[in-house]
C-alpha cells in the first residue's frame, strides 16, 4: 500500500511523535497551521471517515482519548483546541488515511456561517 501515514506507522518515514499506543499515533504536522498542530491517526488503515464501520467505533473512541491526552501533553487542554477531520474532495482531504488535525496554541477564531450570497 502506498499510504504516507501507513509508512509513518511502519516507521519507514520518520515523524515527531507526541504519543503512540497499540492503536493510535499522534505526531506533529510538517506544515503546521497553528502553533500547536498535530495529527491523530489510527494505525489501522481506514481511507476516510466515510469508510468507518460499526466495528471501528471503539477505535474512534481511542482516537478521541489520544487527542485528549495529546492536548494535555502539548499544554493546550486548558486554553482550548480544535479537532478537525477533513473528508473527501470538498473537505480537502489530501491524505487518504483517516486522521484528525488537533490545532491550538492560539485563538483560532469562530466558525462563521455563509452569507446568502454564498448559498
**In sequence order, what are the beta bridge partners of 3?**
none
Q: Which of 23, 28, 45, 99 is catalytic?
A: 99
Closest CA to 84 of 105, 59, 109, 67: 67
| Integer angstrom CA distances of residue 19 from 12, 16, 55, 84, 99 | 17, 9, 24, 18, 15
Alpha carbons 48 and 88: distance in angstroms, whole number: 7
Q: Is 99 a catalytic residue?
A: yes
Cα gap 90→99, rounded to integer Å: 16
- Determine the Cα–Cα distance for residues 12 and 25; give it in Å rounded to an integer: 14
Residue numbers annotated as active site: 99
Amino acid at each position: 500500500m502506498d499510504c504516507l501515514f501507513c509508512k509513518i506507522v511502519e516507521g519507514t518515514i520518520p515523524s515527531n511523535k507526541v504519543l503512540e499506543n497499540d492503536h493510535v499515533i499522534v505526531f506533529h504536522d510538517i506544515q503546521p497551521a497553528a502553533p500547536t498542530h498535530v495529527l491523530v491517526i489510527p494505525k489501522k488503515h481506514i481511507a476516510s471517515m466515510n469508510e468507518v464501520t460499526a466495528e471501528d467505533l471503539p477505535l474512534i473512541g481511542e482516537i478521541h482519548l489520544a487527542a485528549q491526552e495529546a492536548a494535555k501533553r502539548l499544554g493546550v487542554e486548558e486554553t482550548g483546541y480544535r479537532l478537525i477531520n477533513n473528508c473527501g474532495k470538498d473537505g480537502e482531504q489530501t491524505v487518504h488515511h483517516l486522521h484528525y488535525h488537533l490545532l491550538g496554541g492560539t485563538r483560532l477564531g469562530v466558525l462563521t456561517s455563509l452569507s446568502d450570497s454564498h448559498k
